[in-house]
Amino acid sequence: MSDYVIRPLTAAELQHAVDWAGREGWNPGQHDAACFRPTDPDGFLGGFLDGEMIASVSAVNYDDAFSFLGFYIVRPEFRGSGHGLEIAQHALAHCKGRNMGLDGVVEQQDNYRKSGFTFAYNNYRFTGTKTGILAALGSQATANISVLTDISEDLLAYDRALFPAPRGVFLREWLRAPSHASRACIENGMIKGYVTLRPCQTGYKIGPLFADSPDIAQALLVSVLNTIPEDHATHEVFIDMPQPNAAAFALADALGLEKVFETARMYSDHEPDIDLNRIFGVTTFELG
């Protein structure tokens, strides 16, 4: 009889899950595994059949009230065997008592509904290039843009209005990661937006892109796009935008970005009270 064991992943095993995500076409960042794991080391689960990893899922508890699910992958040759459902049940147990969020790909959304998740809105992935985006943006004033390398109380407070839970552990790793470029807009001593760009298996992703106005979002975009080396100027740049933010979609249209992928943001209990009108770019589909 086969022995199926579900347990937390080691750091090396989590990298395997990230690599699987790449093969699924999700295009993870080069340092995602190292950035993600510290938030909740017990929240990244693997399913092992006779000692071989065949499934993964993440169930990251940010606090006692909110969790986010991701990395739900079963190796193709083991799909349809019930191993995915079993590891998903372990993930839900890890998050018990919390409102859970996820970004469901189209083919899994019915399964999430059956598990009690409710649709909130769509997120759409857009793509362009440094060359094309900067040509469309033109010259932007950047006098109020500063390099961001670590968290502060002001940043945590700003982020908390735009994310369903405090996430200081995650942000500390995200801002310090090698080759991530982060910038903040500071006016009169107050944060008005911030952004991170990270290299991925293919091209670059921008996320988060949080801003109090479209003009600030544009200035932040210019600041991080200019960190991309010139020999990568035609590489793809991806940004995931929430559909309820009409200004974000107008910006994507003005920049000539192409829509290439979509997810459904779903919650197990209720839609959190966050200001989507200031979210021009979602942080990640894996951790929210």
Domain range annotation of the chain: 4-107, 123-281
Question: Which architecture, in CATH terms, is 4-107?
Answer: 3-Layer(aba) Sandwich (3.40)
Q: What pLDDT does residue 1 have?
A: 37
Lowest pLDDT segment from 19-23, 99-103, 178-182, 245-249: 19-23
Q: What pLDDT does residue 123 have?
A: 97
Domains 4-107 and 123-281 share a fold: yes
**Residues contacting residue 90 through CB under 8 Å, at least 6 positions apart:** 6, 45, 57, 59
- The C-alpha atoms of residue 43 and residue 63 are separated, in whole angstroms, by 12
Which class would CATH give 123-281?
alpha beta
Q: What pLDDT does residue 139 have?
A: 58
Cα-flanking dihedrals φ and ψ of residue 64, to 5°? -80, -5
Q: What pLDDT does residue 105 have?
A: 86
pLDDT single digits (tens) 26-66? 899 999 999 999 999 999 999 999 999 999 999 999 999 99
Other CB atoms within 10 A of residue 173 CB: 18
- Average pLDDT on 79-101 reads 94
pLDDT single digits (tens) 151-202? 999 999 999 999 999 999 999 999 999 999 999 999 999 999 999 999 999 9
- The C-alpha atoms of residue 152 and residue 28 are separated, in whole angstroms, by 27
How many secondary structure helices (H) and strands (E) does the chain include?
9, 13
pLDDT single digits (tens) 222-255? 999 999 999 999 999 999 999 999 999 999 999 9
